[in-house]
Amino acid sequence: MKISEFAGYGDKMEQLMRSVQAGRIVHALLFVGPHGSGKRTMARLFAQAMVCASPHKPCGVCPACKQFLAGSHPDVKVVRPEKKSIGVEEIRALIDALSLRPYEGDKHIAMIEQADKMTASAQNALLKTLENPPGEVMFFLITDVPGALLDTILSRCQTVRLGDIGVELCAKVLEGRGVEPQRAALLAGLAQGSVGRALEIDGDGEWMALRERVLASLEALNGPSSVAAAATPLEEDKGGEGGILDIMELWARDLMAVQSGAAPYEASDAQRLDRCKIDGSALLRGVVLARQQLDSNVSWPNALENMYFQLTDSGKNGRTKLSWQR
Ligand SMILES: [Zn+2]
């Protein structure tokens, strides 16, 4: 993969690379973005470019690139949480390694993945090194949660912010990776434009099967007497309630989009969305309420049935929150 091909961010990356080559950059980059936005991929591409010996970086074929890709480049150190957090010992070990002379090139590369998982003492240890590196070091910090980092660390890093690239571009990227166009459109929609998330869903057959069960359950709702039968298949998904509610939330957002005349994320399911007469905002409220109930130890079957009764309840003003066109 070439930097310019990094979907949606080629320009940003090339600009960054130029400023590094011109020496106009601080020696720490912080890659920030939501889960699946590609920040780790981008940081790795960039790190690879820094060790690559070819004029067209990163070439992917020179010995340095090959070592990097195999995870065996001697000047590249990667720290990631092996347990719940990254402790001060791990950061001290990194700092010790950085005080040795680089083997191959003129600088060390230090990557810290899920940097927000550093404990406070780990962050303080790192801070000293960021202020006063033992030698030539380029730091790459990667995080979903920059707010968990000390302000003093943030202020020493140049931030590279990645967002989701949008559903259309995400679908194109997936097609570029050989996903068949209609499936690419569906995956991109389900992942709301996050390539990483779309690839996760694509590789997770169970998720797609669960989604089908969730939609079938919602489609089986037809008045209060249908609640028990509609809910039963989902009640048996032990431990899967978080995933089920996430799928319902996506569906609710799409229903709201369709019902307000906007384009849904799951555009390839347009007919099914059209057929669905659940009020999107009522479903979204139901999801929020069910999560609250689960947090306060209401059982999953009860939370789900409460939601379904709410959705099928025609209410005092006689306005039906749900009905299905058959
Ligand atoms: Zn190379």
Biggest CA–CA distance in the chain, Å, is 77
Question: Whole-angstrom Cα distance, residue 112 to residue 28?
Answer: 11
- Report for 45-59, 111-125, 162-176, 226-240: range of highest mean pLDDT: 111-125
CATH code for the domain in which residue 89 is found: 3.40.50.300
Q: What are phi and psi of 17, to 5 degrees?
A: -65, -40
User: Of 105, 138, 161, which one is at a domain's C-terminal end?
Assistant: 161
pLDDT digits (tens, 9 = 90+) for 226-272: 999 999 999 887 678 888 998 999 889 888 888 888 777 666 677 88
The per-residue pLDDT for 76 is 95
User: Of 203, 222, 253, which one is at a domain's C-terminal end?
Assistant: 203
Q: Are residues 7 and 138 in the same domain?
A: yes
**Cα 194 to ligand 1 centroid, rounded to whole Å:** 28
Q: Are residues 287 and 174 in the same domain?
A: no
The per-residue pLDDT for 317 is 41
Residue pair 33/4 in contact (Cβ under 8 Å)? The answer is no
Q: Are residues 46 and 149 in the same domain?
A: yes
Q: Are residues 155 and 180 in the same domain?
A: no
**Cα 72 to ligand 1 centroid, rounded to whole Å:** 14
The per-residue pLDDT for 41 is 84
Torsion angle (degrees, nearest 10) of CA 306, 310, 316, 318: -150
Q: Are residues 126 and 171 in the same domain?
A: no
- Helix runs in the chain, H state only: 10-21, 39-51, 63-69, 88-98, 120-131, 151-154, 167-176, 181-190, 195-202, 205-219, 227-235, 241-259, 270-275, 280-295, 300-312
Q: Are residues 209 and 199 in the same domain?
A: no
Both tokens assigned to 24 = 């106009």
Whats the size of the chain, residue-wise? 326
Is this structure's pTM higher than 0.95? no
**Cα 50 to ligand 1 centroid, rounded to whole Å:** 9
Residue 132: Cβ-neighbour burial (10 angstroms; 0-12, 13-18, 19+): exposed
Domains in the chain: how many in total? 3
Q: Are residues 147 and 186 in the same domain?
A: no
The per-residue pLDDT for 16 is 75
pLDDT digits (tens, 9 = 90+) for 96-110: 999 888 888 888 999
User: Of 139, 161, 183, which one is at a domain's C-terminal end?
Assistant: 161
Q: Are residues 151 and 209 in the same domain?
A: no
Express as a percent the part of the chain with pLDDT over 90: 37
Please enumerate in sequence order all residues whose Cβ is within 8 A of that of 107, keeping only pairs 6 or more positions apart, or say none: 50, 75, 135, 136, 137, 138
The answer for 66, left when phi > 0, alpha when psi is -120 to 50, beta otherwise, is alpha
Domain that holds residue 54: 3-161
Which residue shows structure tokens 């995870």? 71
Q: Are residues 221 and 185 in the same domain?
A: no
Residue 161 — very low, low, confident or very high, per pLDDT cuts 50/70/90? confident
The per-residue pLDDT for 320 is 47
The per-residue pLDDT for 25 is 62
Amino acid at 276: C
The per-residue pLDDT for 318 is 39
**Cα 175 to ligand 1 centroid, rounded to whole Å:** 26
For residue 34, the SS3 value is: coil
The per-residue pLDDT for 173 is 84
Question: Whole-angstrom Cα distance, residue 62 to residue 75?
Answer: 15
Q: Are residues 107 and 87 in the same domain?
A: yes
Which residue shows structure tokens 């929020």? 288
The per-residue pLDDT for 325 is 37
Q: Are residues 72 and 138 in the same domain?
A: yes
> Which chain residues have CB less than 5 Å from ligand 1, an ion?
52, 54, 59, 62, 65
**Cα 65 to ligand 1 centroid, rounded to whole Å:** 4
Question: Whole-angstrom Cα distance, residue 8 to residue 298?
Answer: 43
**Cα 55 to ligand 1 centroid, rounded to whole Å:** 8
Q: Are residues 102 and 52 in the same domain?
A: yes
